[in-house]
């Protein structure tokens, strides 16, 4: 299934994408794409619903973040060896973990706001992993059983605040609008192998990023198991799993960063596409 949320910011309704690519309203069935709806039982209930029996959503509504009431948005850094190389950093021996604040979450096609004074706002296409049921201290062999599904995340990053302003990465990763999520939550049964997905990103129609999740240093199952040893993961928590090479910071000889008015387009195999315009802060 491809689940989504649509409507004005803060008033999103749950929806389902039918086989014809039309949005069907799920608000008469579930309150949101969140909490217990993400469990195996909750998703099984939705699979029993005939999409043709659901109200069709007309027009061209805004698509919101595909998960509601996200508790934790957990980032993984330097998880592709070639990206670590372009960043001039060693390949990590354990996952590099940081936080993106949930206030950074926005819809997949919402504007991305460049922070006031920023000259180093960067892009990162990533595979997002949505947790479906609580897990703590699980082993890698069972880890994917706790995944509800997958989505696209643009891990937008302000490199000066991330790397030059002291402290940890979180500051540069957590500005408002720095986590476009969606367009869909694709349930795990539709993704045969999360380690065989192409990722790509373009800025103003120039392709900068092309990669595949098979080159991750730590795969999805490893990450879920590892993080479950650090914290309890709950339904609706999202893990954004790292980016392949091609970020603006890595362009040689001179890095390239986002400017107001530029457009990012990005996608992951089977998970749809995102389209964002970079805008200045008010």
d(CA 21, CA 23): 7
Average pLDDT score over the chain: 96
pLDDT in tens, 235-273: 999 999 999 999 999 999 999 999 999 999 999 999 999
Q: How confident is the model at residue 91 (pLDDT cuts 50, 70, 90)?
A: confident
- Provide the pLDDT confidence category of residue 96 given band limits of 50, 70 and 90: very high
Task: Report the candidate in 40, 238, 237 with the shortest Cα–Cα distance to residue 142.
Answer: 40
pLDDT of 168 above 90: no
Exposure of 24 by Cβ count < 10 A (0-12 exposed, 13-18 middle, 19+ buried)? buried
Least confident range of 31-35, 78-82, 115-119:
78-82
Of the chain, the percentage scoring pLDDT greater than 90 comes to: 94
- With cut-offs at 50, 70 and 90, classify the pLDDT of residue 21: very high
- Give yes or no for a contact between 132 and 38, defined as CB atoms under 8 angstroms apart: yes
Mean pLDDT confidence for 33-57: 97
Q: Which residues contact 16 (CB under 8 A, 6 or more apart)?
A: 1, 2, 3, 4, 23, 24, 26, 46, 49, 51, 54
Residues 139-158 have pLDDT tens digits of: 999 999 999 999 999 999 99
Q: Which domains does the chain have, with CATH numbers?
A: 2-53 (no CATH), 73-280 (3.90.850.10)
Q: pLDDT tens digit string along 208-230?
A: 999 999 999 999 999 999 999 99
Q: What is the pLDDT of residue 85?
A: 82
Q: Is pLDDT at 86 greater than 90 in this prediction?
A: no
């Amino acid at each position: 299934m491809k689940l989504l949320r649509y409507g004005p910011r803060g008033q999103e309704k749950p929806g389902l994408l039918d086989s014809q690519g039309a949005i069907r309203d799920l608000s008469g069935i579930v309150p949101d794409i969140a909490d217990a709806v993400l469990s195996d039982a909750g998703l099984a209930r939705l699979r029993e619903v005939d999409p043709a029996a659901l109200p069709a959503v007309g027009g061209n509504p805004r698509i919101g973040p595909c998960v509601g009431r996200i508790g934790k948005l957990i980032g993984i850094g330097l998880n592709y060896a070639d990206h670590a190389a372009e960043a001039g950093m060693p390949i990590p021996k354990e996952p590099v973990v940081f936080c993106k604040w949930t206030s950074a979450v926005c819809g997949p096609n919402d504007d991305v706001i460049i922070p006031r004074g920023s000259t180093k706002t960067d892009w990162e296409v990533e595979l997002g992993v949505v947790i479906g049921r609580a897990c703590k201290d699980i082993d890698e062999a069972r880890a994917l059983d706790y995944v509800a599904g997958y989505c696209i995340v643009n891990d937008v990053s302000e490199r000066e605040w991330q790397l030059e302003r002291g402290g940890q990465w979180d500051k540069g990763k957590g500005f408002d609008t720095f986590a476009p999520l969606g367009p869909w939550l694709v349930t795990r049964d539709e993704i045969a192998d999360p380690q065989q997905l192409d990722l790509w990103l373009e800025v103003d129609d120039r392709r900068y990023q092309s990669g595949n999740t098979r080159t991750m240093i730590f795969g999805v199952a490893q990450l879920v198991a590892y993080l479950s040893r650090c914290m309890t993961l709950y339904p609706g928590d999202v893990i954004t799993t790292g980016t392949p090479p091609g970020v603006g910071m890595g362009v040689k000889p001179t890095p390239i960063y986002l400017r107001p008015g530029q457009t990012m387009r990005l996608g992951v195999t089977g998970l749809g596409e995102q389209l964002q315009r970079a805008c200045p802060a008010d």
